[in-house]
């Protein structure tokens, strides 16, 4: 047995001398210390050793095993050090090389405009609500007093996911969800993406809208105009004024289109305002009594105002953008102009 162990020691040293990788070191472990390795075979051979000699032979085998494990660990530590040194060398940074310049990004003009709009209304006490982009027919149309035969429900005008499930055509469903969850007074703002099946070159099938709602006692059109005066002056300049024109929306009565005096020419007439002195910017009105009733709010006690603003429309007017496609093409030459 002693001769066998002596021969294995010589084999061990020879095997360690040829180890050059962790894979080879793993093979060394299997050959000598594994379940089917040489030391395991020695332990199995104890049965053939005379009984009185077994303790000494077992002790010798254990000493040999400890020696092999120590040599294995020594080699493993050496391999780890070499591997770490190689990795450090490959990952070292040459501080004499020119630095890679990574230009800082900037916010998209639509994001900049939306943030400015939110800041204005937040200063008036509005809370921000973020509603789902996939809506049901009930929230998007029915409870907003949009009749079943209204053209907005046509497949050509709206993206339907299922029979009564669609991509929201406006952010107005957020008003319904807020009125369901809260009792007046309510002052909320719902910005977000909306979707309409427009195919002409002047419209986008996806755009951004900001819906506002105020519900309280004795709300009138005067409150709406006063609020929007503050908004347009914050966005376009302190000299800008608003004008309300009669219009029609199913969810408001009365309904109005809101114009601003041209901030380019001061109302004198120019190509921007088509020589009228006024620019249309949004729509709004007094919340229809049926919409309030649909949300469990007594229209005899409360009234409300609502308005919807196209964020692209405001951005294009504010920055003089004459083509809506520029906002979606991700052309860095265009976007870099808005980097603050």
What local confidence, expressed as pLDDT, does residue 338 receive? 84
Indicate the pairing of strand 186-195 with strand 206-216: antiparallel
Q: Is the separation of the CB atoms in 194 and 206 below 8 Å?
A: yes
Q: Between the CA atoms of 10, 12, 18 and 19, what dihedral angle is there, to the nearest 10 degrees?
A: -170
3-state helix, strand, coil in the chain (%, to 5): 45, 20, 35
Q: Is the separation of the CB atoms in 32 and 68 below 8 Å?
A: yes
What local confidence, expressed as pLDDT, does residue 245 receive? 95
What local confidence, expressed as pLDDT, does residue 106 receive? 86
For 240, phi then psi, to 5°, come to -75, 140
The string of pLDDT tens digits covering residues 133-175 is 999 999 999 999 998 888 877 766 789 999 889 999 999 999 9
DSSP 69: H
The string of pLDDT tens digits covering residues 40-56 is 777 777 767 777 777 77
Q: Please give the structure tokens belonging to residue 105.
A: 């990004």
Mean pLDDT by 10 residues, the chain (340 residues): 72 76 79 77 73 76 80 83 83 80 87 95 95 94 89 79 91 95 95 85 84 96 95 93 94 95 88 91 96 95 96 93 90 85
Q: Residue 178: is the preceding peptide bond cis (ω within 30°)?
A: no
Q: Is the separation of the CB atoms in 211 and 174 below 8 Å?
A: yes
Return the CATH fold of 109-338: BirA Bifunctional Protein; domain 2 (3.30.930)
What local confidence, expressed as pLDDT, does residue 340 receive? 61
Closest to 33 in 3D by CA, of 66, 11, 58: 66
Bridge partner list, 305: 214, 286
What local confidence, expressed as pLDDT, does residue 182 receive? 92
What local confidence, expressed as pLDDT, does residue 1 receive? 63
pTM assigned to the model: 0.68
What local confidence, expressed as pLDDT, does residue 201 receive? 65
Domain borders along the chain are 2-91, 109-338
């Amino acid at each position: 047995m002693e001769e066998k162990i002596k021969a294995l020691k010589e084999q061990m040293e020879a095997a360690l001398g040829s180890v050059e990788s962790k894979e080879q070191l793993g093979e060394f472990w299997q050959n000598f210390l594994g379940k089917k390795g040489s030391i395991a075979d020695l332990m199995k051979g104890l049965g053939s050793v005379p009984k009185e000699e077994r303790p000494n032979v077992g002790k010798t085998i254990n000493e040999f095993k400890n020696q092999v494990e120590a040599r294995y660990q020594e080699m493993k530590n050496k391999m780890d050090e070499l591997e770490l040194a190689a990795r450090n060398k490959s990952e070292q940074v040459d501080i004499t090389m020119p630095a890679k310049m990574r230009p800082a990004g900037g916010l998209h003009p639509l994001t900049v405009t939306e943030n400015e709009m939110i800041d204005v209304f937040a200063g008036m006490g509005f809370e921000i609500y973020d509603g789902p982009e996939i809506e049901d027919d009930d929230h998007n149309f029915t409870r907003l007093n949009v009749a079943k035969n209204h053209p907005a429900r046509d497949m050509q005008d709206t993206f339907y996911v299922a029979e009564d499930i669609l991509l929201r055509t406006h952010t107005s469903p957020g008003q319904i969800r807020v009125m369901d969850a809260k009792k007046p007074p309510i002052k909320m703002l719902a910005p977000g993406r909306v979707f309409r099946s427009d195919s002409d070159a002047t419209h986008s099938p996806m755009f951004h809208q900001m819906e506002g709602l105020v519900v309280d006692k004795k709300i009138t059109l005067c409150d709406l105009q006063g609020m929007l005066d503050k908004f347009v002056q914050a966005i376009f300049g302190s000299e800008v004024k608003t004008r309300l024109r009669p219009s029609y929306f199913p969810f408001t009565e009365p309904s109005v289109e809101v114009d601003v005096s041209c901030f380019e020419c001061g109302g004198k007439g120019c190509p921007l305002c088509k020589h009228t002195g006024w620019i249309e910017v949004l729509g709004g009105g007094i919340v229809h009594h049926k919409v309030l009733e649909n949300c469990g709010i007594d229209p005899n006690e409360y009234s409300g105002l609502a308005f919807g603003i196209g964020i692209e429309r405001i951005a294009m007017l504010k920055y003089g953008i004459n083509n809506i496609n520029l906002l979606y093409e991700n052309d860095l030459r265009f976007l870099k102009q808005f980097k603050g």
